[in-house]
Amino acid sequence: MKPYAEVIGDPIAHSKSPLIHNFWLAKLGIDAEYRATHVRPDELADYFTRRRGDAEWRGCNVTIPHKEMVLTLLDEIDETARSVGAVNTIVRREDGNLIGSNTDAESLVAELSDELNSIAVAEFGAAVIGAGGAARAVLHAFARHSVTGVTIAARDIAKANALLDAFGLDGYSQGLTEDIETSGILVNASPLGMVGMPELTTEFTGRPLVFDLVYAPLETSLLRSARARGLPTLDGLVLLIGQAALAFAKLFGVERPLGVEAELRALLTA
Ligand code: NAP
């Protein structure tokens, strides 16, 4: 058997992770594989017991609905995952111990480093739409970069206020029908605009960098309207590929190959 890693979730067929990791493994000529494995919530504990004893298993990525549930089944949780309250990458150390991290949040901290430290964000603040797991990863990045003046737009304002408190952020929560005012950065961390979901109707004023975490479709109406106004944008593949790159290094012990991103993006959007 060759070394392997995998993504676990329920359901799992939709996951793009095997395509990304196997693309990088093939480019690097590494004889290992990355699978998708369907694990239901009631199977999680048994799954880890089996995998702990499997020396070929390097670890796994974790997707919906397990990102919070796995916290109690691991031996160590790193600081970022603890702050976000969710794990998306688990690495098996040689002694069999399982270490949980959150590369969504790590990737957002890294990708947004320049933007979050920019004068625009310092002056005009940062906003996030949504109050779920992805929003928590974004708020972790805001807190890491000591952003002040954070707006959360969500359907549940009490939940959004609790998030501002939890991350020690100075800011304001509002509903989804109110315009968002920011010229710093605006991140959509809700599923609104995703295939099969209602469109995001929240409007914004100002001239922020607009980052939509939704990647299906890649060109959301939020990004279309931002581009039509001449604003800088980042699409959902930035995070999808960014979090996978950090997970790849943890799981396989090597950096992803460079110079192949355009080919990977074409594969992911084919
Ligand atoms: P989640 O934990 O389920 O949270 C979803 C959030 O959106 C919650 O705050 C929820 O509101 C809100 N929401 C859901 N349906 C809504 C609706 N119909 N109207 C208004 N608000 C609604 O999901 P998540 O993990 O944060 O993911 C959110 C989205 O981010 C995903 O759908 C995906 O598009 C994107 N994402 C992308 C990447 C990437 O790699 N690019 C990674 C992670 C996530 P309540 O709090 O009131 O339930």
**For 106-115, what is each residue's pLDDT tens digit?**
999 999 998 8
Could you give phi then psi for residue 234, rounded to 5 degrees? -130, 140
Residue 94: predicted pLDDT: 87
Band (pLDDT 50/70/90 cuts) for residue 97 is very high
Residue 170: predicted pLDDT: 95
For the CA of 137, the closest atom of ligand 1 is: 26
Smallest CA-to-CA distance from 98 within 46, 165, 51, 32 is with 51
Smallest CA-to-CA distance from 151 within 114, 184, 199, 112 is with 184
Cα separation, 168 vs 164, whole angstroms? 6
For the CA of 238, the closest atom of ligand 1 is: 41
Residue 121: predicted pLDDT: 82
Identify the burial level of 143 via C-beta atoms within 10 angstroms of its C-beta, where 0-12 means exposed, 13-18 middle and 19 or more buried.
Answer: middle
Task: Kindly provide the residue ranges of all beta strands, DSSP E only, lying in the chain, ordered along the sequence.
Answer: 4-9, 33-38, 57-62, 76-77, 89-92, 98-101, 126-129, 150-153, 171-174, 180-181, 185-188, 204-205, 209-212, 233-234
Q: Are 103 and 59 in contact (CB under 8 A)?
A: no
β-sheet bridge partners, residue 32: none
The SS3 of residue 151 is strand
Residue 95: predicted pLDDT: 87
Residue 124: predicted pLDDT: 87
* pTM for the model: 0.95
Smallest CA-to-CA distance from 92 within 50, 55, 43, 64 is with 55
235 lines ligand 1 (CB under 6 A): no
Share of the chain above pLDDT 90, in %: 92
Cα separation, 191 vs 134, whole angstroms? 10
Active site residue 67: yes
Q: Which of 27, 67, 159, 250 is catalytic?
A: 67
Residue 1: predicted pLDDT: 83
The torsion of the CA quartet 57, 58, 61, 65, rounded to 10 degrees, works out to 40
> Cα–Cα–Cα angle for 258, 141, 195, nearest 5°?
75
Band (pLDDT 50/70/90 cuts) for residue 120 is confident
60 lines ligand 1 (CB under 6 A): no
217 lines ligand 1 (CB under 6 A): no
213 lines ligand 1 (CB under 6 A): yes
For residue range 31-81, what is the model confidence (pLDDT) as tens digits? 999 999 999 999 999 999 999 989 999 999 999 999 999 999 999 999 999
Residue 123: predicted pLDDT: 86
Band (pLDDT 50/70/90 cuts) for residue 173 is very high
154 lines ligand 1 (CB under 6 A): yes
Residue 102: predicted pLDDT: 98
For residue range 195-241, what is the model confidence (pLDDT) as tens digits? 999 999 999 999 999 999 999 999 999 999 999 999 999 999 999 99
Could you give phi then psi for residue 111, rounded to 5 degrees? -65, -35
Residues in the chain: 270
From 69, 190, 268, the mutation candidate for ligand 1 (largest count of ligand atoms within 8 A of CB) is 190
For residue range 123-158, what is the model confidence (pLDDT) as tens digits? 889 999 999 999 999 999 999 999 999 999 999 999
